[in-house]
A and B are shown apart, each in its own frame.
Chain A
Amino acid sequence: MACPSSNGLVHAMHSLRQTAQLRSFAQRSVLSASAPIRHQQRQPARGYATEVVEETDKTTEKPVAAPEIDFSQFKSTPTRIIPVSGAYFSGSPKFIDHLLKLESILAKYAPLPTVEPTEAPRMAWFKLPQFREVVGEPVATKKYQSLLKILLRLNRIDQKLMPDEVRDALALFTRPGNPYGFQPAPPTVNENGISRAKGKRKEASAVVHLVEGEGEVRVNGKTLVEAFPRVHDRESATWALRCTQRLDKYNVWATVQGGGNTGQAEAVTLAVARALLVHEPALKPVLRKAGVVTVDARRVERKKPGHVKARKMPTWVKR
């Protein structure tokens, strides 16, 4: 959808380049496009009107150093200042330059083998507001999506064959400090045979230490009965072990804080399930079926002004 329009832009650019002879500038990195126009750029074939053309015949004469350019006195001054970017008058020139550059890179490396999108490395692309800040231009959501599409396609190029040019180009669009780059080490049972895991539910958060044992459960140092007077809470706290028939094979040491009884019990459930998965990863499908792997991320909805509670409105009165 965005391609035809960008292709149209490409055509426009070509015509611009041909007329204004801006090829060298258009091909330069757009991030440096805001730099002032530099005049000592060497172009062997066709040059600027502002350029000093050296006429050297390498075959006949020894190369002689060019005379120093005197910037104060140009031999010829341009009749009007020509913008660096061909998309200068398009409203969002930097964005379009980015887009064009990516498109050209893609066209260049299109034949390279790609991998499945799931196998491509996960990259933290700029979110739209961040990207807008970087380019300093209003970028429409849809336009940015088209840019992302190209980025994703480039990212699918096989890592072993990915050229540095692509790598650098992609790096320009990732958030600093790649949040997906850090992969925490998978938890393991420590040297004492204890696995540790955390769980949260409502306002409660629990830390569970699970060790092979006889079915002793301690919550905050208290027995299960003291911690959870309600039978239902006790059952839900130990549900992960119970549904796998491991209740008499592990000892649980849990620390819970925050929330109420139910929240604490279910935070313990989640933490116990995760700690159990460290001991026995093969239990994951069973535990998932038992509903103790999925995190319940719901929290209390905030109260709003004008409402009695989160959603409830005051009773309507006629006068």
Chain B
Amino acid sequence: MSISRRNLLLGGAALAAVAALGGTLLLGGNEALASVENGAAAPAFSVQDANGQTRTLAEFRGRTVVLEWTNDGCPYVRKHYDAGNMQSLQREATADGVVWLQVISSAPGQQGHLDAAGARARVQTDSAAPSATLLDPSGVMGRAYGARTTPHMYIIDAQGVLRYQGAIDDRPSARPASLEGATNYVRAALADLAAGRAVQTAQTTPYGCSVKYA
């Protein structure tokens, strides 16, 4: 039996070595953003909104949901709010029964981070009209969606399937003048969904400030 005990000891050592090697092969990845595919189920989330309520994607089943990543200090976001562009889009969409969720993924201390009261005040100041403002200071929701910029827009259909992701329009600029004549991808995608069509432009490269993750 002494043979087998020695072998087991050696075996243990070998297994540890292999496990360590395997571990180093498996790890070493970086904490990258996830990416989500159009046509796939949108990642579920559960975050507090600016009124202290926990909001989940599941509760909006049956309705189209727009996610708007925002940062009130970002010049690209300001371009859309100072000209009233984002607000009018929010009003149009919510009037059609769409759920519009602002998402703030800025970490505490970073540009654009707002607590619940701050987020409510910001909505007031901008006279914005989102259905709710979601607070994601840990960045969990943002990373799950792969949100890279503010604004970064996502549209989820009534079945919880992601239908659009990308820029808000085709003018990747912070200059207010760029709004003129811009093609708004979100408006177009919402119209496609409302008409029961496939979204024609379903994925674009988002532009704006980087999301200020923790």
Question: Are A and B subunits of one complex?
Answer: no
Residues of A within 8 A of B (CB): none
